[in-house]
Amino acid sequence: MPELKNFLLGFFNVPGIEHQVIVETPLTGRGPDDYRALAIQVRKLYPQIPEAHITRVGSVIESRDPQEVQEYINPLPGMTLRQLFPENPTGGAEECFRFIGNVFFSGQACKITIRYHYEKGTIGIVLIDRLTKGTTRFTNQINASLLVKELEPTLKDILGKDAKNLQLRVKAHEVEDSPALIERTPNLKDQVVSQT
């Protein structure tokens, strides 16, 4: 199992910014230095706001698998949500989770995970509050054959007006822009055998 990397996340209220601002720094174990590093990052983002008006409202340590940090969804054309999960789960698990992005939900910064139920063939949505670690599970079930490119509008519909600043960890696949994939109408004149 890969060694987890620890980060200190700081949650700040900044005047004129609708949502809490989240910054992070690798955890060194030297508390005052780590908190100072968070404050420096916020000041870099908002140098025009006086330091006295920026308030830290919370902080939390987050441990991450280094692979999770780097892992973006890079879907091929026609890829479905089912294909984001292993074919044979380890230990005969009935479901698998995958972190796919972040969102502010009801004013709280949350990680978005999708949960695949192998037997049902459906995907569920779970939000994890980044500060409190509390979870919000949605009863909506998405068919696992949904195309990955349709995930964002589907999530917006499920999360509704309480969701702001939805950011999915999806990168367009390089071949999507390839001229070779543009559908062309055949030139039928070249295909017809001349009758002489």
pLDDT grade for 20, boundaries at 50, 70 and 90: confident
- Which domain covers residue 27, as residue numbers? 5-64
- Flag whether 195 is in a domain: no
Last residue of a domain, one of 23, 45, 64: 64
Within 13 Å and on the Cβ side, how many CA atoms surround 67? 4
Statement to judge: residues 112 and 60 lie in one domain: no
- Flag whether 183 is in a domain: no
Mean pLDDT of 42-60: 90
The total number of structural domains that make up the chain: 2
Statement to judge: residues 9 and 102 lie in one domain: no
What are the tens digits of pLDDT across the range 107-136? Answer: 888 999 999 998 888 999 999 998 888 999
- Flag whether 181 is in a domain: no
Statement to judge: residues 43 and 80 lie in one domain: no
Statement to judge: residues 86 and 145 lie in one domain: yes
- Flag whether 29 is in a domain: yes
Statement to judge: residues 14 and 87 lie in one domain: no
Q: Quick one: DSSP state of residue 82?
A: G
In the predicted structure, residue 173 carries a pLDDT above the cut 70: no
In the predicted structure, residue 179 carries a pLDDT above the cut 60: no
